[in-house]
Every structure is written in C-alpha cells, then in structure tokens.
Amino acid sequence: MKSRYLRLYVYMKAIIDFIIVEKQSFQRAALLKLKSATQLPEIAGGQFANVRVDGCDKAYLRRPISIHDVDYHNNTIDLLIQEKHEGTKKLCALPVGAKLNVVLPLGNGFTMPEKDDNILLVGGGIGIAPLLYFAKTIRKDARPCVSTGVHFLLGGRTQDDLMLLDRFRNEGDVFITTNDGSMGEKGFVTEHSLWNTKKINKIYACGPMPMMKAVAKVAREKGIWCEVSLENQMACGIGACLCCVENTKEGNLCVCKEGPVFNIERLLW
Amino acid sequence: MVKTEIKLKGLTLKNPVMTASGTFGYGEEYADFVDLSELGGIIVKGTTLHHREGNPYPRMAETPMGMLNCVGLQNKGVDYFIETIYPRIRHYDTNVIVNVSGSNIDDYVAAAAKIDALDDVPAIELNVSCPNVKQGGMAFGVTCSGIEQVTKAVREVYHKHLMVKLSPNVTNIAEIALAAEAAGADSVSLINTLLGMAIDAETRKPVLSMVTGGLSGACVKPVALRMVWQVSKAVKIPVIGLGGISSATDAIEFLLAGASAIQIGTANFIDPAISGKVAKGIVEYCEKHGVEDVNELVGGLIL
C-alpha cells in the first residue's frame, strides 16, 4: 500500500507498448491483462484505450476499448473485448506474451458520485466492462465512499453475455436480467424489479444504444440524474478527425473527446 | 549535422514535415504525443467564414489500409478561431498555418482577409478540394477556371504565403496546378482525399451519411506520389506532397518525386506520435546516405 502514496501522478495521455500477461477467453469475448514497463498515467472510470491492431488488413484504425480494470501497483490494465468484426477478433485471438500498442487514457470518465448518492450502474452486454473500474474508483476515491454502496444492474441476451460476475460482486450488489431468463430476472434491464424497490438518484449506464435509450427514458420519467457512455465509430480517438460526433443540444460533439460519457440532459434522445 | 530547413516564399520550415488539415486538430490534441516544436508546421482544421455543423453521423468508413470520411468541414467559423483558438496556439514554436475553405468566392476572400491580419500565421492553405460539402469546396478545385478565380480573388487580399490544396478528383492535375500558379499561388499542396464510397451489403445502404466521402490513408499513397511527380514537373512553384505518408521512407519518396515539403494526415490517427518520428527519420536517412541538406533530395528521382 505504501507505494500507492509515494506514486507520482501522471496526467498525460500516453502511447504504451503493453505485453499481454494474462488472458481469459469467453464465448465471443476475451479478457486481456496488459502490463506496461513504464508507469501508467492516471485513468478515470469510464475512460477508454485506443488499441492498434497489428497484422490485420481489415483493421487500419485503432479499436477503442473500455478500460475494465487498472492496477497501478503492477502497471497493468484489463481490457474486456467483444469479438465484433475482424479487428476485435484479431485482438481476442492474441496469445499471452503478445505486444499491444495502446493510446490511453482517452475521453472523459463518469462523474464521481457524492457521499449521500444512491447510485445504480447499469451495463448491457460488453457495456458492463467500464463499470467495474468505475466502481473501484468510487470505493478508492479519497472522498468518503458512497454510503449505500454500489449496485450493479447487468443485462445480457443470455447468461453467456454476463462474464466475470465475481469481479462485480466484489465491488457491490449485483442484479441481473437476461432476455431469455437463463439468469436473473427475465427481460430487459429496465424491467427489473429493483426499479420499484430501490431508492436511486444517480444512474450510470453503458451498453447497446437501444438499452441506453431505454434507461435514459426511465431516468427521465423518474427524474433521476443519468450519465451514459456512447460508442460512436471513431477514427482518431482524440478529437482531431470529428468522425464520431453525436448530435447534441450543443451541436455535433466528438464522443471521443467530449464523451464518451454524457449526461442525458446534453443529448437529443 | 544535416540541414533540414526548407525555405518557401515568405515561409521557412525548420524541416519538411507538416501535419495535414483535419487530421491534427489545432495541434493541442497531439501535444501529449509530439513535441510540436519538432515539426515544420501544423495546418489546422479547415476554417470557413461562418460556423458549420458539418454532415450527419456516420461520417467514417474504414477501408483496406485507409478510411473514407464525410465530416463536411465542421468548424466554428473564422471569428471563433481568431478569438478563442488563435490566442492559445499562436506561440507554438512552429508554423501555424490555417486551412481556409468556403462555399463561394466572397466567403473565401472574407475569411482569408481576416487570417491575413494575424501576425503569427505565416501562411494559409486554400482548400478548393474538399469533396464533402455540397456547394463549393471541390467545385472550385476541379476546373482550371474555378481554381483561377478563387486563387486570384484570395491573392488580392492575402499578402503572405498562399498554398493552394489540390483535388485529385480531376483528369489532369498538372493543368489545375498551372492554373493555380498563374493565379498567384505561392505553392500547391496535394492530394486532398479521393472521392470514394462504401456500401453495407447486409442492409444494402451506404455506410456514410452523405453516400460518398473522401478516401485517405496508406492506400492512396501511390496515386498521391504519381500526382506529386506530375505536378512538380509542370509548375515552378514548390509542391507540398501528402497522401498516405506513414513513415520517413514514405516522406523521402515524396521529396524524391518533387515535393519540397510533406504533410502527414491519416497516419496521425494510427500513431499520434508519427509526425515527430518522420521528422527524425528523414534526418537519419540523410545521415545514412550522406545527404547534407534535405533540399538535395527534392526532385532527386533517378529515371
């Protein structure tokens, strides 16, 4: 623990050559633990990494991936990557020992809750990834931790989509929905019974667009403060190319630089 | 010690490496990755007289070794640039060059005249080749009369280095370059993006919101190299080469083809530190090959 307090804080973005030191494969995803030989910069929950895909002619651009966990002591980060197209398939197929060139940390993370907030972290599919590290930063934050604890509401199509649940259970109470009812309550996250029983005043959501829109709708109806993390298609990841824009109340904003986390009050949906 | 300085009319670059408009923001976005003082210049995002929201999302499609974009010149207008951005970036230890675009000649002229008054902007790059705006942009850049008109009009109000960025979407780019030269351009930069298209076979819909977009990235390099070679043989003014440059070797190839300086564009997205690496790599190439002055390489192609 001592070294944690002696650590020099680095707030710059960095390009780091990581080495994959651990790997866990899932049906259509992989968890990669990446180790850096140099000190990691400070990373906020909800920020992302832009990962270069080497040796894949269908992936010219980097792939933006949520940061799932960070260990400053060992200089490692965890990325939970879903196989979508050729680029992410290539990343998920990388073996332990492979090098991975990563730009991080990018974008703005979730806003830290206040002491008395009753918070709910809602994740759908691979969108569960950034919520773990965000929950950890809430607990480790210098301010008093959220008194009522962290509640996760995680949704998937089937139980296969819900990975690494033990990790989430270490950080808070976990509630689950699946579309087919194979785990937790059957239905969408917005249909879970906790909405009627739990007192919530802040929602943080990450997942597929229809899920986040549904969560935003619930939040609006109930008058709950809500942040969502978008994943518009990006080219540069640092606010230069203006490709990943979301049309907001303030006009077109880069999701990579102004987001990926937005308060729903800024959005048009 | 290799001499890397490139002298253009009214514009001295400490080395031939600049960053291409629309790929480097205002330089600030890259300050964590590149020492901006190690670059010959940065060409900031396309600036128009009035605020432009740009085109709807989706604006990007990845292609083999490249990408298409239809951003559509999203920017907050020249007054915002002058009031808000210029004060932040004017003291960079490199040339800050503004890319100026418009949808009619009056707009080009008005924006250029405003930039002319900025002490710390030694040059503009006239963008007559953006393929992503319905009116103007590329319309001026694809005919000799169009490029002549807009260049001439801007030349009258702009007194510093006037670089004109050429479109590759023409039959004979050398003729277009000659027209820009005759109208008073101090240099030409090429190529802007190649007009392209992407279709999603599953949905049968175009990938881009504007259906077509501009192709850039490593895949366009052979086309760009050929055009730089053709243009440099035709005109007397300096040629600035760009299009797919991703390494120092690529940059050297453009110099050999006749470019006096180069710009790095889409490669900035893949490696945000690439511009500094290319600047260093050019020096290493010169040392290795006994080249004392980078200018010796310009047009050094052996046929």
Distances (CA, A) of A149 to A114, A117, A136, A170: 12, 9, 11, 11
Within 8 A of B208 by CB-CB distance, chain A residues are none
Among all chains, which residue has been given the structure tokens 């969560």?
Answer: A215
Separation CA B182–CA B300 (nearest Å): 25
Q: Residue A117: which region, alpha, beta or left (left: phi > 0; alpha: psi -120 to 50)? A: beta
User: Would you call B77 an interface residue with chain A, using a CB distance cutoff of 8 Å?
Assistant: no
Within 10 angstroms of residue A30's Cβ, the number of other Cβ atoms is 21
> CB B62 to CB A61 under 8 A?
yes
Within 8 A of B273 by CB-CB distance, chain A residues are 15
Distances (CA, A) of B96 to B14, B26, B39, B120: 13, 9, 10, 7
Residue from B43, B51, B52, B62 whose CB has the most chain A CBs within 10 Å, to mutate: B62
> CB B269 to CB A240 under 8 A?
yes
CATH code of A2-106, in short, is 2.40.30.10
Within B158-230, strands assigned E span 161-165, 187-190, 194-197, 199-200, 205-206, 212-216
CA distance B53 to chain A (A): 6
DSSP symbol at A250: T
- Architecture of the CATH domain B6-54+70-194+215-297: Alpha-Beta Barrel (3.20)
When CB atoms are compared, the residue of A52, A57, A257 closest to B270 is A52
Q: Give the chain B residue nearest A106 (alpha carbons).
A: B29
Among residues A60, A90, A107, A255, the alpha carbon closest in space to that of B270 is found at A60
Among residues A60, A237, A236, the alpha carbon closest in space to that of B62 is found at A60
Residue from B57, B73, B132, B215 whose CB has the most chain A CBs within 10 Å, to mutate: B57
**Domain A119-229: which topology?**
Rossmann fold (3.40.50)
Pairing of the two strands A261-263 and A251-254: unpaired
What pLDDT was estimated at residue B13? 98
As a whole-number percent, the residues of chain A with pLDDT over 90 amount to: 88
> CB A247 to CB B57 under 8 A?
yes
The residue extents of the domains of chain A are 2-106, 119-229
> CB B24 to CB A240 under 8 A?
yes
The residue extents of the domains of chain B are 6-54+70-194+215-297
CA distance B152 to chain A (A): 30
Residue A149 pLDDT exceeds 70: yes
Among all chains, which residue has been given the structure tokens 């605020």?
Answer: B51
Within 8 A of B32 by CB-CB distance, chain A residues are 12-14
B286 counts as catalytic = no
What pLDDT was estimated at residue A3? 47
User: Would you call A63 an interface residue with chain B, using a CB distance cutoff of 8 Å?
Assistant: no
Among residues B22, B6, B26, B24, the alpha carbon closest in space to that of B14 is found at B6
Within chain A, strands assigned E span 14-25, 29-36, 48-51, 63-71, 76-82, 99-106, 119-124, 150-156, 173-178, 185-186, 202-206, 225-229, 245-248, 251-254, 261-263
What pLDDT was estimated at residue A57? 84
> CB A60 to CB B54 under 8 A?
no
Q: What is the mean pLDDT of residues A50-71?
A: 96
> CB A252 to CB B53 under 8 A?
yes
Mean pLDDT per 10-residue section of chain B, whose length is 303 residues:
97 98 97 97 97 96 97 96 97 97 94 98 92 66 94 98 97 98 98 97 97 97 98 98 98 98 98 98 98 98 96
> CB A57 to CB B269 under 8 A?
no
> CB A241 to CB B32 under 8 A?
no
Residue A219 pLDDT exceeds 60: yes
Separation CA A102–CA B9 (nearest Å): 40
Set B70, B130, B219, B286: catalytic member: B130
User: Would you call A235 an interface residue with chain B, using a CB distance cutoff of 8 Å?
Assistant: yes
Q: At what angle do helices B221-234 and B248-257 cross, to 10 degrees?
A: 30
User: What is the torsional sign of CA B143, B145, B148, B152?
Assistant: negative
Number of cross-chain residue pairs from A and B with Cβ atoms under 8 Å apart: 94
Give residue A6's pLDDT band: very low, low, confident or very high (50, 70, 90).
Answer: low
Count CA within 13 A, CB hemisphere, residue B184: 16
Separation CA A167–CA B290 (nearest Å): 59
DSSP symbol at A128: G
What pLDDT was estimated at residue B25? 97
Residue A155 pLDDT exceeds 70: yes
Average pLDDT of chain A, as a whole number: 93
User: Would you call A240 an interface residue with chain B, using a CB distance cutoff of 8 Å?
Assistant: yes
* Phi, then psi, of A28 in degrees rounded to 5: -135, 35
